[in-house]
Structure 1
Amino acid sequence: MNNELVKQVFGLIKLNNKLIAVESPLQERISLLINLVSESQRLDINCYLWTLEDDQLHQLVVNQETLALQKVEQYQAIAKNRREHYFEILRFWKTTDLSGILILEGIFPWLGSASTDPDFFLTSEWIKSALINLKLYNHSCNKIVILLGPNATLSSDIAPEVPTIVQQLPAIEEISSYLAQVLPNYSYGDIHAAAIAGLGMYLADIDYGIRQAISNHENTPDELVEKLSAYKIELFKRIYNIQFLQPPATPIGGLELMQQAFKTYKRLLSTLAKAYNLRLPKGILLIGPPGTGKSYSAKACSQQLGLPLIILEWGSFRSYGNLAEYKLKNLLALVDRISRIILYLDDFDKGFAGDDDLSKRLAGMLLTWMQERTSEVLIIASANNIQWLPPELTRSGRFDEIFKVDLPNYGERHEIFTLHLARFDARFQNGGDAYTEDEWKRLLKATQRCVGAEIRVIVERAAVSTFCRMFGDDVLPLEELPPLLIQLSALLAARQSMNPLAIREADRVESMRNIAALQGQPSSPIDSSIYSLGNVDIFG
């Protein structure tokens, strides 16, 4: 990857660009510098490095793939005697007899968007002016300045003067080629599986993940893939603040129309569909009251399609402030590189509650990416209040499918209860049942406006109360434990201890449901179960 980046740098140098910005992550810095200096030495060009941290200038030399730094005393003497400005390096490079490539590391914060702090603003303007003067003054000299950092954000006044190169995440072919060198005993199939596990990480991260996996003992290829995948999940959480999940085994109760749509999307991923120029929807929007199963539906889609799932709280980007656009750019680059993946934007509407410039800029970035991307990324977003979303986000061609995820009907509540009861009571596993039809009708009537999340809580509370009635403080051997039998009375008691949101906030929930009904298509068919409203005596 660094070799390709270096080719781009020297391609710009050949076009007589004297100022070049390079965005590269910190973990790839040593590898990039080695490749850059190696190519400079091949072309008989000196290479220098200045870092903000110590204000020292070093000449870079590579010997046997090892990077060496040699202090330039000429700069140290001048900088020590003339401390008019911390960025004395810019004056020095303008007038020094030294030539070649000067790498400036850590200067980008002064080149981004304007600041309201007067001292910072003046320093920023001085640096920009000095860089432009360098470009003009050294136009006919063999002096090049490379601005290097993990975030190469440039303000609009200087951006046209500084071409920017961004180090992209390595493709699976590059990762496979690298793994073949570090894992020479692995077969082609094992290398490919490890490359898939490493997709979305830089080579330095993959190398660290492998060394961490084999630090204690040798691993089988399957064990290495498992550990590398676990390391990637932890890394994504730290860097991008997202959850990365492999396709889960997620049973879902109800929402049959939506699940049928998911099965259609799976067929659209086939090569046959591509032959007919058919594609996935650009986006799917799930709207409805809280707790109705929108997040659960995204996991069910991941299971149906067999694709990994990235869960992102869209509103969290607002907390990044000026870094929000940079964070979003990196995240979209990540999902583009992984390609066959589901990107789930949880609580999408909350990111636009403020209706400020930041929200609009983030929405613009997302819209542009959704319109122009070629990767096979399925975007699913959930919203409680669709009226908070900008109108341009909900028009056709942006989110092609909009589903109303409503309060579960009688038949769906029966399915949801059965799924959760099976977690604790063996009688409900493998399609089993322990209640009579009349008992079910009584329970479903009592939970008429409960959503799936509330049903889960009711079952868990009933399981806890049943457990507490069965056992005291004495601990029995596991082999002697009797089964946990959850009775209808325990579920009804748990229901009485809860005030469902759809009753507690009836006006708000009904408003959400009405708006969702106008905007989206139903995600559930008409209830045709034996427990449907027409078959339930609501006065019984």
Structure 2
Amino acid sequence: MSLTLVNQVFDLIKLNNKLIAIESPLQERIRLLKNITSECFSQNIPCYLWTLEDDALHQLVINEQDLALQPVSQYQALPKSRREHYFEILRFWKTTELEGILILEGIFPWLGESTTDPDFFLTAEWIESALINLKLYNRNSNKTAILLGPNANLSSEIAPLIPTVIQQLPTVEEISAYLTLMLPSYTETEINNVANAAVGMYLADVEYGIKLALASGLGNTQELTKKLRAYKIDLFKRVYNIEFLQPPTISVGGLELMQQAFQQYKRLLTPLAKAYNLRLPKGILLIGPPGTGKSYSAKACSARLGLPLIVVEWGSFRSYGNLAEYQLKKLLALVDRINRVILYLDDFDKGFAGDDDLSRRLAGMLLTWMQERTSEVLILASVNRLDWLPPELTRSGRFDDIFKVDLPNYGERHSIFKIHLARFDKRFRGGDAFTESEWRRLLKATHRCVGAEIQALVERAAISTFCQMFSDDIPPLDELPPLLITLSALLEARQNINPLAIREADRIESMRNKADLQGLPSSPIDSSIYSVGNVDIFG
């Protein structure tokens, strides 16, 4: 919460720190400035604000519980004939007779790591030099400069000189305390329910999400919680580029050994496991060819453990360029604050295909977080090619469990078919419409098909059946005949699908062979009646 952050800042000021960096999100800016100004007022300290946008100096004051800005005539902006003229405020604060706290917005982009742009480099060097001189020149004065921005990225040269305070996401207790003021008519139980739905958002986001929900009209707390959670999911998508999914209700065809491991993970989340100092694995790798169900397994894990699922494309961090580490830091802070959640890193290996410095830095950040975190976060990562990962990521203590997610066997394909057929044909909802010999024919025809291809095959057969049943005339919806998918429709759909494991046989077999050496099996030996080993060739 910003009040805690303000206390940290003023503690640093008491220790005679003349330069302080604050990392705070934009949406919390007004609240933070008000709290700093209020504390300055209580201590009789003048407080000023300068922003790069208008290059003007204002004194901050609290006017009837609101923040007001009063122009400071002593500072006059220079004509911008040189780049450093945009930062004349640094030279002014060094020599002016004004004292107090100066908040500077918009300087952090010049204080990060080095750049190859000579003009940008010279400006950055000038700013760093000006800040160092400011710290030395004002060491015996009552002046403090605070650098403020959403990304307090400081180069290794200047970082030791500037202590950094980071505004963390509020805890559920802090959100509850804020909601008690915002929703005075709600009971303690109702406040706790809304606060739990809001975890992962800053107070400004919580406030906006609640106002948005209330404006649409609500009947009860359950509706508010539901709408606030929907707003949070949309916010996470826009801010973090992730999917935030509540535990789904799904059926899984096969992968029994992996499902048993998920059940063990659930037991490790209990207070009893904590009493014995037992913990979740640091991370779990799911390796195998594309389409074999790695992403579906992550959703199955979410359903089995009853934990929300955060899905992120690991390779997407590369698209952020210089901001990649900042985006990863924000995401890991979010995951830590939510705490009991599954973090699923999809296509984890693709983020290391370039084998460049950025990949290594991101891997280093992830490793450090995995080693030091105390939150109960289960990390799943899907990989097609394990050899693309840096060796330090795959040693024991990093990703403890590695599961091979292989092409489904006959029994698993039978289960997958029934799951997808049940979506369209009610005969498969708890029952069966095919004979054993029909199933054997279908399963033989779909040898080397993965789960995603079986799903596509069933959907094609359902569409074909639907189009044959009805012409352009639409019958009454209360008199619809059942959709009955036949074996011939499925076999015809199979003719239009060329499985990846056949189309790219060499590449897929290479992946499977390497996964065999590195991963634990996700499925036991096929013991179903459809197993190839159970076929009576003399019958």
TM-score range relative to shorter protein = over 0.9
Kindly indicate whether the alpha-carbon contact (under 8 Å) linking 1:441 and 1:536 is maintained by their aligned counterparts in 2. no
Q: What is residue 511 of structure 1 aligned with on the other side?
A: 510
* CA–CA separation in structure 2 for the residues paired with 1:247 and 1:295: 14
Where in structure 2 are the equivalents of 1:40-55 lying within 5 Å? 40-55=40-55
1:168 to 1:81, Cα distance in 2 relative to 1, 3 A: closer
Q: Which residue is 2:492 aligned to?
A: 493
Corresponding letter in the other structure for 2:55:
D
Q: C-alpha distance in 1, partners of 2:222/2:535?
A: 53
* Equivalence for 1:400: 400
Contact 2:78–2:85 (CA under 8 A) maintained in structure 1 = no
Cα distance in 2 for residues equivalent to 1:397 and 1:6 = 38
Q: Tell me which residue corresponds to 1:101.
A: 101
Please name the residue that 2:364 is paired with: 364
Letter in 2 for 1:486: I
Q: Deviation string for 1:179-217 (max 9, x for gaps)?
A: 111111111111111011100000000000000001132
Q: Which runs of 5+ in 1 are unaligned?
A: none
- CA pair 502-141 structure 1, distance change in 2 beyond 3 A: same
- Residue 229 (1) aligns with residue 229 (2): yes
One-letter code of the match for 2:455?
R
- Superposed CA deviations along residues 22-75 of structure 1, whole A, max 9, x for unmatched, are 000000000000000100011110000000000000000012321000001111
Instruction: In structure 2, give the amino acid aligned to 1:113.
Output: E
Distance in 2 of aligned mates of 1:216 and 1:445: 55
Q: Percent identity?
A: 75
Q: Distance in 1 between matches of 2:61 and 2:219?
A: 37
For the residue of structure 1 that corresponds to 2:86, the secondary structure is: coil
The residue type paired with residue 483 of structure 2 is L
Change (3 A) 1:252 1:538: farther
Q: Distance in 1 between matches of 2:177 and 2:440?
A: 61
Q: Is the 8 A contact 2:179 2:191 kept in 1?
A: yes
In structure 2, C-alpha distance between the alignment counterparts of 1:184 and 1:318, rounded to whole Å = 45
Letter in 2 for 1:131: L
Q: Show the counterpart of 1:110.
A: 110
**In structure 1, distance between residues paired with 2:288 and 2:32:** 48
Instruction: Figure out how many residues of one structure are paired with residues of the other and give that number.
Output: 538
1:451 aligns with: 450
CA distance in structure 2 between the aligned counterparts of 1:9 and 1:509, rounded to whole angstroms = 56
2:251 maps to amino acid = P
Indicate whether 1:295 and 2:295 are aligned.
yes
Q: 8 Å contact 1:311–1:346 — kept in the other structure?
A: yes
Q: How does 1:160-239 map to 2 (within 5 A)?
A: 160-239=160-239
Alpha-carbon RMSD across the aligned residues, in angstroms, is 1.3
Question: 1:12 corresponds to which residue?
Answer: 12
Q: Distance in 2 between matches of 1:82 and 1:38?
A: 38
Q: Is the 8 A contact 1:94 1:138 kept in 2?
A: yes
| Rounded Cα–Cα distance in structure 2 between residues aligned with 1:474 and 1:81 | 72
Query: How high is the TM-score relative to the length of structure 2?
Result: 0.98
Structure 1 residue 218: Cα displacement? 3.7
Aligned to 1:60: 60
Q: Distance in 2 between matches of 1:499 and 1:537?
A: 29
Distance in 1 of aligned mates of 2:134 and 2:72 = 20
User: Is the 8 Å Cα contact of residues 60 and 70 (structure 1) preserved in structure 2?
Assistant: yes
In structure 2, the residue matched to 1:531 is 530
Aligned to 2:341: 341
Matched, 1:332 2:357: no
User: CA shift at 1:539, angstroms?
Assistant: 11
**Residue correspondence of structure 1 range 370-385 to structure 2 within 5 A:** 370-385=370-385
**SS of equivalent to 1:86:** helix
Deviations 1:118-140 (CA, angstroms, capped at 9, x unpaired): 11111110000000000000000
Structure 1: 4+ residue segments shifted above 2 A: 78-84, 216-219, 535-540
The answer to whether structure 1 residue 310 and structure 2 residue 316 are counterparts is no
Distance in 1 (alpha carbons) for counterparts of 2:501 and 2:271: 45
CA contact (8 A) 1:445 1:538 kept: no
SS state at 1:435 partner: coil
SS in 2 for 1:39: helix
TM-score normalised to structure 1 length? 0.98
Q: Which amino acid aligns with 2:117?
A: D
Structure 1: distance between partners of 2:391 and 2:127: 41
**CA-to-partner distance for each residue in 1:329-370, whole Å, 9 max, x for gaps?**
010000000000000000000000000000000000001100
Counterpart CA distance in 2 for 1:535 and 1:271 is 45
Question: What does residue 520 of structure 1 align with?
Answer: 519
Give the Cα–Cα distance (whole angstroms) in 2 for the partners of residues 517 and 82 of structure 1: 65
Q: Which amino acid aligns with 1:519?
A: Q
Question: Does residue 464 of structure 1 match 2:474?
Answer: no
- In 2, Cα distance between equivalents of 1:537 and 1:472: 44
Task: Give secondary structure in 2 for the equivalent of 1:148.
Answer: strand
Q: What is the CA distance between 1:82 and its match in structure 2?
A: 9.4
Give the direction of change, closer, same or farther, for the CA distance of 1:345–1:184 in structure 2 (3 Å limit).
same
Secondary structure of 1:73's counterpart equals coil
